[in-house]
Amino acid sequence: MRQGLSEDLIARVLGAAPKYTLAELEEKYPPRELADGVMVTRFAPSPTGFMHLGNLYSGLIDYKLAQQSNGVFMLRIEDTDTKREIKEAVGIVIDSLAKFGITNDNEGSDYGPYYQSQRKDIYHSVVADLLRRGLAYPCFLTQEEMDEIRANQSAAGFATGIYGEFARYRDITEEDIVKRLDNGETPSIRLYSMGDPSKRIFFKDFVRGSISVPENNEDIVLIKSTDRLPTYHFAHLCDDHFMRITHVVRGEEYFGTVALHIQMFRMMGWQLPNYIHTSTLDKIDEETGKQRKMSKRKDQ
């Protein structure tokens, strides 16, 4: 088994010692007592664009599934993409849902906070566990280096991404980590993927039935170096588990990330939510004349 980092080094890599143990988080956010068939859903928009019909479509499905099963409907704001955040977007989302009678069950719930930017301690505590078990590692690649890797991969006909031999810091030693930290470098935290794309993962989609996808082998970023907030992939893992979401409704464009998400849930030993992939709402682009998915940035 691959050796993980020491507690002192984990604290240095993250900027502080993790606030919780996993056991403490399990106690803080316990499993819900649900009758058979009850659904806990979430609408989780990112405030990097404005509300459109596609968002409303997704939120309405989440709301109706919870309502019809006497379940719980959560509104979660996924605001970790600080570079592209639009100040007015959250207010527009809340007002838009209210106009269509879509109300959430956040108030009085013990599973918040409901803004991802306020859940940093949870993410750091979970990633500390992965670092401790050797399932994640600090990566010191610069943006320029990553751009060069992807350009070389494209030129050679390889899949682009940070994986295998292209993951330069995948097996970095503790000594080298300390040297770079002492030099003032701030790493991102990457997944140490053991996936093999020649093998397949099988899962049940609650609309489309049994589906298989290739395993994920990319060492995706879990915690960003810039603000030490999580990426979407890692935040959704932690939040869906500790909010005890039972059913995740999302567009079919997320099929490409299912293998990654299943992989991470299994690495944590957590129960996988039930995935429901819906067809996208498309339109004819006025500029190109071609069909495309509705966009939160173009189609307000």
Domains in the chain with CATH codes: 42-109 (3.40.50.620)
pLDDT at 297 over 60: no
- 296 classed as catalytic: yes
Q: What per-residue confidence (pLDDT) applies to 125?
A: 98
Average pLDDT over every residue of 234-260 = 94
Q: Report cis status (omega within 30 of 0) of the bond before 113.
A: yes
pLDDT tens profile 137-150? 999 999 999 999 99
Q: What per-residue confidence (pLDDT) applies to 207?
A: 87
Q: What per-residue confidence (pLDDT) applies to 227?
A: 92
Which residue type, as a one-letter code, is found at position 121? D
pLDDT tens profile 18-69? 999 999 999 999 999 999 999 999 999 988 877 778 788 889 999 999 999 9
Q: What per-residue confidence (pLDDT) applies to 294?
A: 56
Q: Are residues 183 and 151 in contact, defined by beta-carbon separation less than 8 angstroms?
A: no
pLDDT at 295 over 60: no
Average pLDDT over every residue of 252-259 = 89
CA distance 258 to 275: 9
115 DSSP assignment: B
HSE toward the beta carbon, residue 165, CA cutoff 13 A: 4
Annotated catalytic residue, options 204, 283, 296, 298: 296
pLDDT at 103 over 60: yes
Q: Are residues 280 and 53 in contact, defined by beta-carbon separation less than 8 angstroms?
A: no
SS (H, E, C) 259-271: HHHHHHHHHHCCC
Q: What per-residue confidence (pLDDT) applies to 221?
A: 98
Average pLDDT over every residue of 77-97 = 88
Strands 136-139 and 40-43: unpaired
pLDDT at 282 over 90: no
Average pLDDT over every residue of 91-113 = 93
Structure tokens at 212: 């298989």
pLDDT at 296 over 70: no
134 DSSP assignment: T
Instruction: Give residue for tokens 């659904």.
Output: 39
Which residue type, as a one-letter code, is found at position 83? K
Q: What per-residue confidence (pLDDT) applies to 19?
A: 98
HSE toward the beta carbon, residue 294, CA cutoff 13 A: 18
pTM of the model: 0.91
Backbone phi and psi for residue 276, each to the nearest 5 degrees, phi listed first = -125, 105
pLDDT tier, 178 (very low <50, low <70, confident <90, very high otherwise): very high
Helices 120-132 & 7-14 angle (0-180, nearest 10): 140
pLDDT at 236 over 90: yes
> Helix, strand or coil for residue 67?
helix
What does the mean pLDDT of the chain come to?
92
Average pLDDT over every residue of 100-110 = 94
Q: What per-residue confidence (pLDDT) applies to 281?
A: 62
DSSP for 131-190, written as a single string: HHTTSEEEE---HHHHHHHHHHHHHHTPPPSS-GGG-TTTT--HHHHHHHHHTT---EEE
